[in-house]
A and B are shown apart, each in its own frame.
Chain A
Amino acid sequence: MKSFFRVLLLFCVVLGGVICWLTLKGITYTTTTSRILSDKPVHKGTVFVYDYAHLLTPQGKTRLNGLMNMVLQDYDIEFFAVTTPSLDEMDISEWTNRLFENWHLGRPTRGDKGLLFVVAPKEKKVRLEVGKDLEGLFTDAFIGYIEREQMKPFFEQGRVGPGIEATLELIISRIQSAVHDGRYAPQEGVKQQGAYHSAGAGAQGQVDIGSLDYQKKDSVSGDLKEYFSAQPSPELTLQRYLEASRRHIKDPDLGIYTDETKAFFRKWTVTNAQQDNERQFDGVPFALKIRGDYAVIYYPDKDWTYSPFFLKKGPKGWQLDFATMSKVIRFNHTNYWFFVSYDHPYMFAFKQYWIDDNGFVWFKHKKGP
């Protein structure tokens, strides 16, 4: 009899324990958001990308983490990218602000210099929120512009990683010109955060991720095709290209491009922001070197944000060779161009200059004859 009661007692205890555990589990029901909020980042400069919605490839994440680490080191700005499978019925502005405060974005910086980019594919929304001390540097209009004119075409094609990278490039450009003009000094300030890290600045937009298989590039009319055909001189062809960019013309089948370049542009995501960027070349003095059917237009008086143009002479005139440019020229995290390969017919233009081990051409340092 005694042993029966002992077993019964044991059973009740175990049952009681199970009921308590189940109740607690019910009380602490977690939403996606609460799980994400509790996943506090370490702020040690290694991970900046939190891809809860699985939109990025491992290589994409690695690239982004590397880039964002450099942004923190060079410019004292902490940029996080977070994708979430659900906003749990919240507005993206509320969700982003909550995360910004909860995760203390900008902690390793001198002040509240955090940037938070949130992608919510289910709700088809994106938002980039700007920390308190960066509001002057990144206006709402600027953030809205880069979301609409740079990020959106990439995201619509499902190219989330490249889209974030391309957007980051524009952010870096803006930081660079601010540093150049003395409007921003990365090392200024005290390493301390305020009670609130963001006042709700930034911008958001509607994006249907992966809704397009390819970017729609409208063809131009016959008259414009005639206008944007191969020109008798390399300078004229470049002028036409800069004008096409200014007018946001994305038609890949223009005479100013070599055949390989046309094929390249058919696949390439061309954004309005990238085309607006080409305005930096307007009216800037350049150097021109021609050897046979190959020409190079380059900018020896400018810094490495001014990449060269390669042109090839076809039967109808000079055409731009972006296909080759895209293979042999790369841009680093500060938007400086450099060579990744010397195996192309345009090297003749750079023979007289010193090129360092990283592929940067030093125009001010001429080699001996």
Chain B
Amino acid sequence: MKENPILFLAIFLLIVVAVVSVFIIVNYNSLVKAEKAVEEAKAQIATVCQRRLDLIPNLIETVKAYAKHERQTLEAVTLARRKAEEVVAGLNAKEQSAPVDMSKLAASQAALSSALRNIFALAENYPSLRASANFMALQDQFEGTENRIAVARQRYNYAVKEYNTKIETFPGVFIAPIFGYTEREFYEAKDEAYEPVKAGF
């Protein structure tokens, strides 16, 4: 070995390149996995949000049967539903999430939650509606779906945190930009502070 320094150097470089390649591959794979986890969690959010949207027609029909004159509240829900449906459909269609999607989703879902809260609140004034088995089943279904949304949101944010950490810390911080991996947005819940949806939203 000492007789041929060039050969020694070549082998040394080869080993370095091999080690670095393996290193990059392993970390790249880890980034891919982390991003896949984010995508999966996002798909689950879309699924459970859609589930809530699908429950609404039945709710409107049931409430109409007992509370025909509450047109404004019912219309507000229909409007909020339409808006939310657009965003959720967009969520499913796109492959790579654009930064604006999550906040749009949060806003449309919060608007829908607010409109739904108004319906369930007005049911307090209609005891026969409240006592009907159909309405009670709907309440259970809405509560169940809202819980699923909360769980999905929490798991999505966890996946985003893991992924963002990977691309912000060493070695991901070097590898991510090479392959175009950028930070993902959290799903911030805005439910509490939201105002009912207004026209032109």
Contacts and interface: CB of A to CB of B under 8 A. Distances in A.
Interface of A: 93, 97, 139-141, 143-145, 148, 196, 198-204
A140 B151 contact: no
Contacts of B143: 140, 144, 203-204
Given A140-B141, A199-B44, A199-B152, A148 B147 contact: no
A205 to B, nearest CB: 9
A203 B144 CA distance: 6
Contact of B137 (A93, A145, A199, A201): A145
Nearest to B47: A199
A61 B144 CA distance: 29
A200 B140 contact: no
A204 to B, nearest CB: 8
A204 B140 CA distance: 9
Contacts of A202: 144, 147
A141 B145 CA distance: 11
Interface in B136-163: 136-141, 143-145, 147-148, 150-152, 155
B148 A144 contact: no
14 contacts: A93-B150, A140-B140, A141-B138, A141-B141, A144-B140, A144-B143, A144-B144, A145-B140, A199-B44, A199-B151, A200-B148, A200-B150, A201-B144, A203-B144
B48 interface: yes
Interface of B is mostly: helix
Interface of B: 44, 48, 136-141, 143-145, 147-148, 150-152, 155
Nearest to B137: A141
Nearest to A199: B148
Contact of B148 (A139, A201, A204): A201
A127 to B, nearest CB: 9
Contacts of A199: 44, 48, 148, 151-152
Contacts of A144: 136-137, 139-140, 143-144
Contacts of A140: 140-141, 143-145
Nearest to A200: B151
B147 A93 contact: yes
A126 to B, nearest CB: 13
B99 to A, nearest CB: 26
Nearest to B150: A200
Question: Nearest 8 A-B pairs (CB), nearest first?
Answer: A140-B144, A144-B140, A200-B151, A141-B137, A200-B148, A200-B147, A141-B140, A140-B140
A164 B150 CA distance: 27
A119 to B, nearest CB: 18
B78 to A, nearest CB: 23
A334 B170 CA distance: 58
Contacts of B140: 140-141, 143-145, 203
Contacts of A200: 144, 147-148, 150-152
A102 to B, nearest CB: 14
Nearest to B134: A141
B154 to A, nearest CB: 9
A165 B136 CA distance: 24
B189 to A, nearest CB: 13
Contacts of B141: 139-141
Nearest to B140: A144
A139 B143 CA distance: 12
Given A196-B155, A203-B143, A148 B136 contact: yes
Contacts of B155: 196
Contacts of B48: 199
Q: Name, among A139, A144, A204, the residue most crowded by chain B CB atoms within 10 Å (CB to CB).
A: A144
Given A141-B137, A141-B138, A143-B144, 7 more contacts: A93-B147, A140-B141, A143-B140, A144-B143, A148-B136, A200-B151, A203-B144
Contacts of B151: 97, 198-200
A97 B154 CA distance: 11
A93 B138 CA distance: 19
A202 B155 CA distance: 18
A332 to B, nearest CB: 30
A33 to B, nearest CB: 17
A174 to B, nearest CB: 15
A204 B48 CA distance: 18
Nearest to B44: A199
A18 to B, nearest CB: 38
A335 B148 CA distance: 32
A323 B154 CA distance: 53
A94 to B, nearest CB: 8
B47 to A, nearest CB: 9
A141 B148 CA distance: 14
Contacts of B139: 144
Contacts of B152: 199-200
Contacts of B136: 144-145, 148
Q: Name, among B44, B136, B145, B148, the residue most crowded by chain A CB atoms within 10 Å (CB to CB).
A: B148
A144 to B, nearest CB: 3
Contacts of B145: 140
Nearest to B155: A196
Contacts of B138: 141
